[in-house]
Structure formats: structure tokens, C-alpha cells
Amino acid sequence: MRKFFFCVLLSFCASTLYAQKTLFDTVFTLVKERSVYTQRVNWDSLTPIMYSRLDVTKADSAEAVLATFGTLMQALKDMHSSMSYKGKVNGNPDAWAFVNSKITPEMREAVKKGYDRLRIAMLPGNYGYISIPAAGIEATEDMQVAIEKMTAIAQNISDSLCTLQRKPLKGLIIDLRLNTGGSTPALIGGMASVLPDGRCFTFSTSGNAREEMRLKEGNLFYDTLQMTKLKNLCRPKKTPKVAVLISGYTTSAGEHAAIALKGSSHTRFFGSPTRGQITGNETIFLRKDVTLSLSTAWAEDKTGKKYMVDVAPDVLVPDGADFEHLDNDKSVLAAISWFATGK
């Protein structure tokens, strides 16, 4: 009986180890072949180290791989990729310290008070203000559902901009300081009324493959796929000067939205450098309950400039944010000064 039990136990351990190794093989190969950081490590020496870290005592193969994935991202110094399983998310254990160093107490306080929402205001002097928040969309394999959700978010942004643009604006402030990302097409598509038709943003992979986002009659196309289907788009005959506010809280798709606004003579950036989780991440469904968000591309603006670290402001305003009293906000005041004087 004891011998039979040992054989069953041995068989169970072998099958568990096989499941763990099979799943980790898939993850490891995807990272090695697609990550923009693949050139940072020596894979010949890293491979045996990573496989030795796989916890073979865990019966749940996804749990075992989830734990090892963080170590792999740490080796690549990838601060943006993550793996999700049953509500648990794991990535580079150094990432929190990295992003935390850029977030000021006043930005944290603004989020606590609920200012990380879509809102507009008219400021004295006919200056329009819009704060654009994150565009959170749950990952789905159904592209039609994703497009509907992206369009809904983009439409809300577009409608808010139209409310401002119906007025005789002397300048427009787009505040991305509390934008923590989400859907890049939703954010860029929502800003179509302040962007010209044509290429506005590009993802480029480590192998130099390029996927462009273009606006056509105010709707966003990702290569040939239409990502937004807006109604009642208003585009002023003359676009006013646009001041873009950014901070260390501006993350991922929020950084991409900022990049889409780059490359224009009538646009200027104020605030502090963005968080630096700036890669384009591909969502990969390993199983229905296991999702990989992998950094597979760099972001480029309409001029072809690649952003590999963060987005820096033209005018550094490191502190003095006041979301409650915008007429006392240092970044807002710096933007208004530029509108009025050109300096």
C-alpha cells in the first residue's frame, strides 16, 4: 500500500512539474522573442537561473509561474510588464519603488479627493481646461466589445472638448497629470478634435516593425482597423494653442496621449517628467484565467521621435498643483502666461 501511494505521489509531482514547465516555457519564450528589453540580458546564462527559480512545490502551475515571472522582469529591468491570475498581478518587484519616486504628495492627495475624473472648466480670459483621466478597459479577446468600450470613452472626452471648443477660446489646457493609462486608442481617439488627420502615434517593436495610429475624418485607425466611431465630432476651423500638463503620475496610455500631442508648434508641455512606464504593452491570453501584459513596443510621435524613458515637459513646474483652485495652480498659471505672452 505504501509503495502504491509513493508511486501515485511521484506521478502527481511529475505531472505538476510538467504543467509548470509547459506554462513557463510559453511565458519565457514570449518574453525572449517579443520583449523590447530582450537585448538587456544574456539569455544563455539567464535561462538556467530562471528555471531553477520555478517553485515545483506549488500544485497550481499558474501560481508557480506567476511568482517566477516577477524575477524574470527584474532581470530585464522591465518596469511595465505584468502577469495576472485570479485577481493576482505580479511584475518586477522593483517597479513600485521606481514609480513611487516620481509621484508627489500633492498628486496623491488630488487622487484621494477624486480629481482623477473627466472634468472641464472655463478659466478667466477665455481659457478652456479639461482634465482627462485614465481609460480603464477590462481585457477581452472580443475585439468588437473592446472597440465599443473604447469608442464610449473617446466619445465622452470628445463631447467634453466640444463643449469647450464652442466657446471663443484663447487657449486650451489639457491636463494629463492624473492619468494613469488604460486604453491608448480611447484616449488619443477622444482628443481627435485637437489633432489633425494623419499619423498621430506609432508603436515600434525591437525588430523595427511599426504599427501606426492615424486619424481619418476624426476617427482613429490602428493600421487598417477602425478603433473609434465618434458621433458629433466638432473641429474648430482654427485650433487654439494647447498647453499639456503632465506629471510623475502620468502613466502608460496617459504618456501615449501626451506623445500624440507632441510635434506641433502650437502645443507646449508643462509640469514634470512622466512616470516612465511608457512602453506599448501587448495583452496575451495564455489561458482564460491567465493574462500576460508584455512590453513589446516603443512609442513614437508623429515626427518619428522615439520615447524610451519618459515624456519631459518644455517648462518644468515641479510642484504647486492645486486642482481645487485652478487659478492658483502653478502649471495652469504657467500655461496661461504662455497663451498671453508666448513665453
**pLDDT, tens digit (0-9, with 9 covering 90-100), for 182-235:** 899 999 999 999 999 999 999 998 777 888 999 998 899 998 899 999 988 888
Kind of pairing between the strands at 171-175 and 127-131: parallel
34-77 tens-digit pLDDT: 999 999 999 999 999 988 888 777 777 788 888 889 999 999 99
Q: What is the pLDDT of residue 170?
A: 93
Q: Which amino acid is at 136?
A: G
Q: Which amino acid is at 321?
A: A
**End-to-end CA, the chain:** 86
106-139 tens-digit pLDDT: 999 999 999 999 999 999 999 999 999 998 877 6
The pLDDT of residue 8 is above 50: no
Neighbours of 197 (CB within 10 A): 13
Taking CA atoms, 330 is separated from 145, 170, 193, 234, 342, in Å, by 40, 19, 26, 30, 17
Could you give the CA distance from residue 256 to residue 149 in angstroms, rounded to a whole number? 18
The backbone torsions φ and ψ at residue 253, rounded to the nearest 5 degrees and listed phi first, read -60, -25
Report CA Rg, the chain: 23
Percent of the chain with pLDDT over 70: 93
168-177 tens-digit pLDDT: 999 999 999 9
pTM, to two decimals: 0.87
Kind of pairing between the strands at 242-246 and 171-175: parallel
User: What would the mean pLDDT of 142-161 be, rounded to a whole number?
Assistant: 91
Burial of 334 from C-beta contacts in 10 A (0-12 / 13-18 / 19+): buried
